[in-house]
């Protein structure tokens, strides 16, 4: 078994599409960034890479590389998971927390879990997505940004 933890944060920008765990959230602002800036998926990818000590997504998908401009993080996640599987590991489970003052994410949680499970070819029961606010404190609280954390357990099948 290998355990991994990932963290990511992005600024929120008016007019940017808000994609979280591959689900488009109706919103007047979204995370700014080079790719689609899907913060929880960036945290999840870093957790997977961290579990196998393979670096981070900045190494795998360099910001300088135009190839990744506007890239879908769901597709990037599939690439990362292929790498994980290539090392002889499969996902045990993942637990993601999204920290955002608004909008209220509760109506989208099941869809997010399905999207991540589909991307990884796994069961929704292995994917947890939670959302919380920081009660108007700090950069998530005042709407400057969004952050996410992810913990994963990888199981060796060799």
Shortest separation between residue 98's beta carbon and Mg ion, angstroms: 13
Q: Which of residues 42-101 bind Mg ion (CB under 5 A)?
A: 42
Shortest separation between residue 21's beta carbon and Mg ion, angstroms: 13
List, in sequence order, the alpha helices (H) in 15-137.
39-51, 57-60, 73-86, 109-120
All residues at 6 or more sequence positions from 111 whose CB lies less than 8 Å from its CB, including other chains: 23
Whole-Å CA distances, 9 to 42, 97, 100: 9, 12, 10
By CB under 5 A, name the one of 8, 36, 46, 101 that touches Mg ion: 8
Which CB sits closer to Mg ion, 44 or 131? 44
Q: Is 115 in the site for Mg ion (CB under 5 A)?
A: no
Contacts with Mg ion by CB under 5 A lie at 8, 42
């Amino acid at each position: 078994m290998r355990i991994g933890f990932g963290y990511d944060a992005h600024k929120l920008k008016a007019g940017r599409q808000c994609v979280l765990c591959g689900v488009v959230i109706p919103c007047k602002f979204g995370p700014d960034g080079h790719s689609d800036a899907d913060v929880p998926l960036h945290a999840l990818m870093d957790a997977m890479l961290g579990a196998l000590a393979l670096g981070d997504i900045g190494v795998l998908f360099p910001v300088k590389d135009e190839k990744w401009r506007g890239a879908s993080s769901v597709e990037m996640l599939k690439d990362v998971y292929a790498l994980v599987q290539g090392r002889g590991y499969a996902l045990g489970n993942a637990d993601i927390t999204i920290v955002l003052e608004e909008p209220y994410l509760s109506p989208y949680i099941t869809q997010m879990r399905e999207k991540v499970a589909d991307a990884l070819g796994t069961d929704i029961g292995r994917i947890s997505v939670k959302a919380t606010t920081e009660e108007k404190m700090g950069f998530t609280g005042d709407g400057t940004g969004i952050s996410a954390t992810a913990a994963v357990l990888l199981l060796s099948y060799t």
